[in-house]
Amino acid sequence: MELTGAEIVVRALADEGVEHVFGYPGGSVLYIYDEIFKQDRFKHILVRHEQAAVHAADAYSRVSNRVGVALVTSGPGVTNAVTGIATAYMDSIPMVVLTGQVPTSAIGQDAFQEADTVGITRPCVKHNFLVKDVKDLADVIRKAFYIARTGRPGPVLVDIPKDITIARGKYTPPTGEIKMRSYSPVVKGHQGQIKKAVQLLLQAERPMIYTGGGVILSDAAPELTKLVQMLDMPCTNTLMGLGAFPADDRRFVGMPGMHGTYEANMAMQHCDVLVAIGARFDDRVIGNPKHFAQNARKIVHIDIDPSSISKRVKVDVPIVGDVKDVLVDFLAQVEASLKETRRNPEQIAGWWKQIGAWRERECLKYKSSNDVIKPQFVIEKLCEITRGEAFVTSDVGQHQMWAAQYYRFNKPRRWVNSGGLGTMGVGLPYAMGVQMMHPDADIAVITGEGSIQMNIQELSTCQQYHLSPKILCLNNRYLGMVRQWQQIDYGSRYAESYMDSLPDFVKLVEAYGHVGMRIESPRDVEGALREAFTTHKKRLVFLDIITDRTENVWPMVKAGKGLTEMLLGSEDL
């Protein structure tokens, strides 16, 4: 059938099974918006800023394993969206971002609202397309979805000039799997390498499993859990991998890295066989690579992206493939090998005894108070009241680290945060994307008074679509993580980190039509949280929680230091 380009866009999205599109209209995409208005196969969510559209689509994907979709106009619409695109790219989130462009005849003429979208976004997308002929449009959109969700996932951008949206071309519904000669990611792991890795692991005296967001992206949490429990090994999840292995299992030693637990970091450093699964040895995880390499250990690295293997740390057994597929084969070989290979029960028992000694340091213990609200206490109460079942989105800073440390994530895809790029302002639009996917779930936004103001206009979007996240603003009147670094590394010179002109958040939230609460005493925290999640379950509630402004995140590995060089508290300064 022959359709306009705008009709092709809408039909292609619907045929991909898209249910929600997050966007903001503008001149170059109005023909597309006109076609969206005429259809009922998917719903469009009008945000108040293009950055929020991409963040919401990002979170929608994180909690659903679907491809998120955002639609923005040309010029400033695109440039506003770049932060969200880069955020998704760093965390390997599958998304398709459709952008408007000036007519093809005006490209390169400095036309009104023109930007070099392909050039601007090239460093922060998995791939991008500029459509120059309406005949290519449907095929390009299908390829965009295929590229976004296969291999190492990531955002794919399709730039569509306005004249392409009114040109006419034939549309053929999709049939079969997309085939691309230039793109064919490896999915199955090499059986010989898997066998070698299994033998190393079974012979280990101090084994360690280190997992990242790749386990969650490939839906491999059941396989990971079975492997760890079968072999009774310690397991650590990175910030992006929290929930891949249940936090309440005794084998979970906490998060590793800059603000990881003492026991996780010591075990990472002193193990003799380390199996990295869907993780990338990030600088915030292993600290200084030279320090990390001081201890001899065998390293197995399982990852879909071959460029991530031996990028920062030399590995002994590389296995390229989809994490879930590799772990299925890995488990089969473990079960077969256990019949023939005798493990080292005495040494394993000694390893667990050592880990137990590290745990006795109680590195996450904090000094409670009856006078001032401790942020850790708020997260603990949130976890208790929601029974660890909530979807938790966070902004970036101290509050993010406290959420990661003190909320017990027992399921994957419940923790939504910006790990790689560290983007302030994601928390609220993330919650919007989560609720579009899970309309009846409990959703908590952990934020600070600095982060929340970066996208606070999305309170209007929440009002329009009756969204009801509970926003916990841990308000310490500082850019908290900046203040902490300034205290530790800059002689307590708090340059531009004090927020001395904050709004009355309660009044502001009420002006948007939501419920606002201010909590200033520890004894009121539990009651306020219970009221928010029960009495006001169907309303957005903003809890302005006035917390201890001097509290720091411990443990901490300073930049350039090694995993065992942790600061466990202010006494180490």
The residues assigned a catalytic role are: 50, 112-113, 162, 481
Note whether 293 and 313 are within 8 A (CB).
yes
CA distance linking residue 307 with residue 330, whole number of Å: 22
Written as six digits, the tokens of 536 are: 């006001």
Q: Minimal CA–CA distance to 68: which of 49, 42, 48? A: 42
Burial 347-367, CB ≥16 within 10 A → b, else e:
ebeebbeebeebbeeebbebe
Element (H, E) at 158: strand 155-161
H helices within 363-504, ranges in order? 375-385, 398-406, 427-437, 458-464, 480-489
What would the DSSP string read from start to end of 209-232? Answer: EEE-HHHHHTT-HHHHHHHHHHHT
- The edge-to-edge listing of strands for the beta sheet with 273-277 is 235-237, 207-211, 273-277, 298-303, 317-320
CA distance linking residue 483 with residue 127, whole number of Å: 38
How many other CB atoms sit within 10 Å of the CB of residue 453? 18
Cα 497 to Cα 93, 360, 491, 547, 559, distances in angstroms: 31, 35, 14, 16, 20
Note whether 423 and 393 are within 8 A (CB).
no
